Amino acid sequence: MVWKILLLILLSLFTVITFNLLYIFVLDKLRINKWIVLVLGVLLIGFSTFLMGTKLHIILKLLAIVISVMPFMWFYNIVNKEKYEKKTNPKIKIKPKAKPNRVKSTKK
């Protein structure tokens, strides 16, 4: 039982470290729609579920799980980045300058 928990902790640590390295060097430079990333994640989860029923080595199965979690982490990162950019960069409204010489006064 302790070994399974230790394996889960090591797997999650490996996943986070791998994602951070990928994000720094590769994923941050890619500009892709967030919904495509989400669909890719769903497809990879389905594929990894299919692999769990096969007679592959346990390391390949764990690697499939790690790879299938990456698009969800990327999607979450894209969504948070969009929220931050929207909050820090409000839309600037350009208002025309009032021109007093053009307005005819009706009070006389």
- Read off the pLDDT of residues 12-63 as tens digits, 9 standing for 90 and up: 999 999 999 999 999 888 889 999 999 999 999 999 988 888 888 888 888 9
pLDDT of residue 1: 85
Residue 58's SS3 state is helix
Q: Is residue 34 part of a domain?
A: yes
Question: What is the number of structural domains in the chain?
Answer: 1
Which range marks the domain in which residue 60 is found? 2-79
Q: Is residue 93 part of a domain?
A: no
Q: Is residue 85 part of a domain?
A: no
pTM of the complete model beyond 0.85: no
pLDDT of residue 60: 87
| pLDDT confidence tier of residue 102, bands split at 50, 70 and 90 | low
How many other C-beta atoms are found inside a 10 Å radius of the C-beta of residue 70?
A: 19
Angle between helices 34-52 and 58-88 (to 10 degrees): 160
Percent of the chain with pLDDT over 90: 45
How much is the mean pLDDT over the chain?
A: 86
Q: Is residue 15 part of a domain?
A: yes
**Contact predicate 65/48, CB 8 Å:** yes
Q: Find all residues with CB under 8 Å of 52, minimum gap 6, and list them.
A: 61
pLDDT of residue 57: 86
Q: Is residue 91 part of a domain?
A: no
